[in-house]
């Protein structure tokens, strides 16, 4: 591919307005990072970042840090969109998806529709470290997890079971044969301060989804992507929609061509809106980081406004993303 400089890139995507919109909310222009940086989606990302920083400073690798950081959210039963306590599919079964990628090795591991194992990000990590595969799904993923020493457990909590029973009992309840509902995923992008990048993502998927449904989170290049030469990205929201835009790799390739993380996030969402104006009303949000630790985050609209967490220079912050429409 022809190298494109930053000015050419800016001209080609005409993002000047979006850049102006971004400068007040995002910490790009703030203190330059002097070590690792951890960037995660949603307020629960703060605890994930803090754990990741702890693991990294205790001598863990960046992959260890991202995995263990995401485990915090997977383990929390109060978070009903990720891991243990995540809302189940329409049959009442919790099916988890996750993926993690090492930007040095260009190597990802991912897991789809995993049942009865609460830490799919850790199983995905084992796919990288112990196999030559990239993605494992369903029963095979479950049996693989058992072989890797993970223990099966009931992932429905009293609270998530009650929500499912209430949904079942509601006449004409919403189903995913047609209609979407709100959804939050943990996505994390990290750098070690030496231009090594890792990205990961974990979710229980949409509540009441049709069994077997797989959306963006565990798909390499969709829910997450990392490349030490260009940066990393992750997505949260309507994964059925965003899968069609290969959001994370699209953002990373824009950064490779010279866009800042914020410009790349904005442009991805604007592209979605240009190709189908209905997407302006969608639940779509993205985060990105370049290898130098500069970050960006954008939400399509105010109804699905992403708050994102940044851990940098020893400080843990929660920030509001840019809203595009
Ligand atoms: N973005 C997560 C999902 O749609 O499952």
Q: 186: part of which helix (H) or strand (E)?
A: strand 186-191
**In this predicted structure, what is the pLDDT of residue 172?**
76
Whether the CA torsion 295, 124, 126, 252 is positive or negative: it is negative
**From 219, 239, 246, 304, mutation site for ligand 1 pocket: most ligand atoms within 8 A of C-beta:** 239
Q: What is the set of domains in the chain, with CATH numbers?
A: 6-323 (3.60.20.30)
Q: Which residues line ligand 1 (CB under 6 A)?
A: 183, 185, 203, 205-206, 215-217, 236-239
pTM (two decimals) = 0.91
Q: What is the pLDDT of residue 110?
A: 98
User: In the chain, pLDDT over 70 holds for what percent of residues?
Assistant: 88
Q: How far apart are the CA of 174 and the centre of ligand 1, in A? A: 17
Ligand 1 pocket test, pick from 87, 179, 207, 237 with the greatest ligand atom count within 8 Å of Cβ, gives 237
pLDDT of residue 191: 98
CB contact at 8 A, 84 and 74 = yes
Q: What is the pLDDT of residue 211?
A: 96
Residues 6+ apart with CB under 8 A from 190: 36, 37, 38, 39, 52, 56, 62, 65, 66, 69, 197, 198, 199, 232, 289
Q: If we measure between CA atoms, which residue out of 105, 321, 127, 85 comes closest to residue 218? A: 127
Mutate to test the pocket of ligand 1, among 114, 186, 205 (most ligand atoms within 8 A of CB): 205
Q: Which ligand 1 atom minimizes the distance to the CA of 235?
A: 1
Ligand 1 center–CA 284 separation, angstroms: 10
**Inter-CA distances, 312 with 30, 45, 191, 192, 226, Å:** 11, 13, 10, 11, 19
224 CA to middle of ligand 1, Å?
A: 12
Mean per-residue pLDDT of the chain:
90
Kindly name the residue from 41, 185, 191, 203 that is annotated as catalytic.
185
Per the model's pLDDT, the better-predicted residue between 90 and 8 turns out to be 90
The DSSP secondary structure of 131-174, one letter per residue, reads -S-SEEEHHHHHHHHHHTT--------HHHHHHHHHHHHSTT--
Say what the pLDDT of residue 181 is: 56
52-to-47, 83, 202, 299 alpha-carbon distances in Å: 9, 17, 15, 24
Range in 1-10, 232-241, 260-269 with the lowest mean pLDDT: 1-10
- Is 175 a residue whose pLDDT tops 80? no
Please compute the mean of the pLDDT values over residues 273-286 and round it to a whole number: 97
Residue 1's pLDDT band (cuts 50, 70, 90): very low
Measuring from atom 1 of ligand 1, which residue has the nearest CA?
239
Residue owning the nearest CA to atom 5 of ligand 1: 205
C-alpha 202/C-alpha 45 separation (Å) is: 12
Give the β-pairing of 107-114 and 135-137. parallel
Q: Report pLDDT for 177.
A: 61
Distance, in Å, from the CA atom of 217 to the CA atom of 211, rounded to the nearest integer, reads 16
If you measure from the C-alpha of residue 20 to the centroid of ligand 1, how many angstroms do you get, rounded to a whole number?
Answer: 29
Task: Give the separation between CA 269 and CA 20, rounded to whole angstroms.
Answer: 16
Residue range 221-240, pLDDT digits in tens? 999 999 999 999 999 999 99
* The pLDDT value given to residue 99: 98
Say whether 243 is catalytic. Answer: no
Give me the mean pLDDT over the 45-68 stretch: 98
Mean pLDDT of 300-318: 97
What does the pLDDT read at residue 34?
86
Given a cut of 50, whether residue 15 has pLDDT beyond it is no
* SS3 of the chain: helix, strand, coil, percent, to 5: 35, 20, 40
pLDDT tens digits along 24-37: 344 444 678 889 99
pLDDT tens digit sequence for 57-97:
999 999 999 999 999 999 999 999 999 999 999 999 999 99
Ligand 1 centroid to residue 33 C-alpha, Å: 30
- Per residue in 104-156, pLDDT (tens digit) is 999 999 999 999 999 999 999 999 999 999 999 999 999 999 999 999 999 99
């Amino acid at each position: 591919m022809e190298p494109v400089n930053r000015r050419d890139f800016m001209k080609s995507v005409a993002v000047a307005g979006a850049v102006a919109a971004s400068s007040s909310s995002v910490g790009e222009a703030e203190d330059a990072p002097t070590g690792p940086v951890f960037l995660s989606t949603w307020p629960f990302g703060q605890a994930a970042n803090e754990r990741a920083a702890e693991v990294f400073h205790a001598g863990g690798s960046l992959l260890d840090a991202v995995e263990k950081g995401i485990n915090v959210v997977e383990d929390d039963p109060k978070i009903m969109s990720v891991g243990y306590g995540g809302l189940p599919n329409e049959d009442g079964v919790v099916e988890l998806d996750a993926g993690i990628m090492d930007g040095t090795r260009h190597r990802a591991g991912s897991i789809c529709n995993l049942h009865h194992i609460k830490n799919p990000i850790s199983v995905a990590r084992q796919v990288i470290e112990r196999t030559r595969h990239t993605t494992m799904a369903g029963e095979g993923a479950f049996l693989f997890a058992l072989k890797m020493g993970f223990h099966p457990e009931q992932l429905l909590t009293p609270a998530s079971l009650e929500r499912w029973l209430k949904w079942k009992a509601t006449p004409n309840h919403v189903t995913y044969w047609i209609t979407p509902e709100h959804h939050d995923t943990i996505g994390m992008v990290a750098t070690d301060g030496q231009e090594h990048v890792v990205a990961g993502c974990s979710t229980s998927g949409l509540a009441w989804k049709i069994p077997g449904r797989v959306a963006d989170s565990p798909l390499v290049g969709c829910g997450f992507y990392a490349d030490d030469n260009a940066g990393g990205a992750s997505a949260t929201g309507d994964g059925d929609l965003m899968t069609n835009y290969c959001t994370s790799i699209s953002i990373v390739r824009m950064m490779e061509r010279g866009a800042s993380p914020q410009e790349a996030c904005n442009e991805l969402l604007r592209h979605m809106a240009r190709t189908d104006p209905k997407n302006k009303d969608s639940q779509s949000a993205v985060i990105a980081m370049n290898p130098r630790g500069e970050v960006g985050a954008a939400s399509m609209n105010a109804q699905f406004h992403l708050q994102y967490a940044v851990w940098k220079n020893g400080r843990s912050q929660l920030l509001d993303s840019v809203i595009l429409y």
